[in-house]
Each structure stands twice: as C-alpha cells, then as structure tokens.
Amino acid sequence: MKRIALVTDSTADLTEELKKECDIHVVPLKVNFRDQEYSDEELSSEEFYRRLASEEALPRTSQPSPEEFGRLYGRLLEEYHEIISVHISSALSGTINTAYLAKEKFKAKIHLVDSKTISLGMGLMMVEAARNIKEGYDTAWILRNLEKARKNIETLFTLNTLEYLQKGGRIGRVQGFMGSLLNLKPIIRVGDDGVYHTYAKAHSQKKALEGVVQALQDLAKGRKHVRLAVAHGAAEQAAHYLKEALENACQLQATVITQVGAVIGVHTGPGTVGAAIQFE
C-alpha cells in the first residue's frame, strides 16, 4: 500500500496537470443555478461566467456531504495507509466541519487541516505536502510543516466589484470600506484568521494589479520567495500582466496560473485577479 493520500476540495483551484502530477484527490463543492445543481469541477469557467452574467439571482453554493467525503476516504484507504485532507478556511465555509463528520468512521487514519485560506493559497499548501510525501517525510512531520507553510503563504486578490462578496455574505472585514469602494477596486488579503481584509484600494484595475505587486513586495521583506501562483476569473489578460509583473519583481517563475472555479467565482465575480506567494 501507498503511505499517504492527499485530499482537498475544489476551492483550491488546482489545474488538472497539478492534480495528476501531485496525486491530489479533490472533493467538489457545488453551485446551484435556480433548480440546477452543478459540481464545481463539471461547470467550466467560461460557462459559469456566462451564466453568472445572464441570471437575475446570484447562484447558491453548497459544500460536499459527509457521505461524499466518506466515500472518497473509504476508497483511498483501500490503497493508502493514511489521508491528509486540507480544506478552505473554516471562517468562509463549513466544508471542513463536514469532513470531520466523515472522519469519525475512520478515526486516526484521517488528518484534517484548516488551510485558513482559499484558492491559490490552498493550492500552494497542497504542492508543498506533495513534495514532502515524495521526499519520504512521515505524516506528523508533514502536518507540522503544513502549519509552517500556511503562515508563510500570502494570498491577495483584486475585484472589479464588491457586489458578489456582498450578495454572498462573504464580505467579512472588507465591509467597512463599502461606501467608499463602490467605484474603486479593492485589494484584498486573506488574513491569518482566514477571512478577507481590505489591504488597499485603487482607481483602476491596472493600479490595483500594481498594488498587488507592491503589497507582495512589502510582505516579502526579510523573506525568501519559494513559489508563486496566479489565478483569475474571466480576466486572462490581466492575469498574464500580473504574472509577468510578479515574476520580474520577485525573480521567480510562476508554478501555477489557473482560473478561479465556480464556487469562488460566485463570491468574487468576473474580473477577479489574484496571486499567492509562499515564503521561507
């Protein structure tokens, strides 16, 4: 049997190539357009944003059921001795609580990790865990290292509008800026507490992207860059601009450039562009 399986949820926004390369198994969250339910992974980014623009009501999102987690855990434990399961911040979703319900059946074989982040930040944690497994570290060491990695990953993104965060109830500590940000582009940081915080604001998307680069440079002081990831929601050109700007500023090639999935996209909307950097 193999030693350790890696599980995450679809809000990690991993590419198919990374999932295959790192042997990562994904439990999808769901998006509901009226009476139609889609798995986060079966609804393409292009189709999702087309639907989002045409629907009057904001789609709803839902987490996996304990049974879905249980089926995956049970299947993996036929091949692996243990499972490390890393999920979206508990301050933003109840996904990890559902995973705990499924864990009861398997007890000590399942190790759950609250990433206290989203999307690219989770993705970098999964890449780190996969590297640790390949290097032969045991579960206890990997869990300790994931805690260290989490504290050394900075995730920032900018939005075209706060409309979707507000409607979806995920606005968190960004809400203090609602009045002044209606016509501005916020730069949002995922804090150590796993919720969104306004880091800065800009008058255009280009200025906001420059602000993300500056913010990551400020947060990098005294720290060594390890990995860079970039993602976007229906904003490919802006994502490539941010990728090149960060690669030049940090002298680091991006490990990942991907699209934000439907579940994250419901709350951030089109025009979202973000980046995450892992430091030592």
**142 & 170 share domain:** no
The CA-atom distances, in angstroms, between 41 and each of 12, 152, 263 are: 11, 28, 9
- Band of residue 46 on the pLDDT scale cut at 50, 70, 90: confident
In one letter, which amino acid is 274?
A: G
Cα-based torsion angle of the residue sequence 229, 234, 236, 242 in order, rounded to the nearest 10 degrees: -50
- 97 and 122, same domain (yes or no): yes
196-202 and 185-190 beta bridge pairing = antiparallel
Return the beta strands (E) in 150-236 as ranges: 153-158, 185-190, 196-202, 225-233
Domain shared by 139 and 6, yes or no:
yes
Residues 143 and 168 in one domain: no
- Do residues 201 and 226 make contact, with C-beta atoms less than 8 angstroms apart? no
User: Which residues, 6+ apart, have CB-to-CB distance to 59 below 8 Å?
Assistant: 31, 32, 33, 51, 52, 266
pLDDT computed for residue 1 by the predictor: 75
* Residue that finishes a domain, picked among 151, 184, 206: 151
pLDDT single digits (tens) 56-73: 888 999 999 999 999 999
Regarding whether 140 and 12 lie in a shared domain, the answer is yes
Select from 261, 259, 254, 255 the least CA-distant residue to 273.
Answer: 259
Three-class SS state of 279: strand
Count of residues in the chain: 280
Tell me, yes or no, whether 137 and 177 share the same domain.
no
Q: Which of 107, 129, 151 is the last residue of a domain?
A: 151
* CB contact at 8 A, 273 and 229: no
pLDDT tens for 224-277 read 999 999 999 999 999 999 999 999 999 999 988 999 999 999 888 899 999 999
Last residue of one domain, picked from the residues 151, 182, 210: 151
Of 70, 63, 64, the closest CA to residue 92 belongs to 63
Mean pLDDT of the chain: 91
Q: Do 166 and 146 reside in the same domain of the chain?
A: no
What digits encode the pLDDT tens for the residues 122-162?
999 999 999 999 999 999 999 999 999 999 999 999 988 77
- Distance, in Å, from the CA atom of 170 to the CA atom of 168, rounded to the nearest integer, reads 6
What is the domain extent for residue 17? Answer: 2-151
Looking at the structure, tell me whether residues 196 and 89 fall in a common domain: no
Q: What is the pTM of this model?
A: 0.92
Q: Are residues 139 and 209 in the same domain?
A: no
CA distance 24 to 129: 10
- Structure token pair of residue 180: 């002044």
Q: Please indicate, yes or no, whether residues 74 and 130 belong to a single structural domain of this protein.
A: yes
168 and 223 Cβ atoms separated by less than 8 Å: no
> Is the same domain home to 207 and 114?
no
The CATH number covering residue 65 comes to: 3.40.50.10170
Give the integer Cα–Cα distance in Å for 147 and 277: 15
Q: Tell me: do 32 and 146 sit in the same domain.
A: yes
- CATH number where 186 lies: 3.30.1180.10
Domains identified in the chain, total number: 2
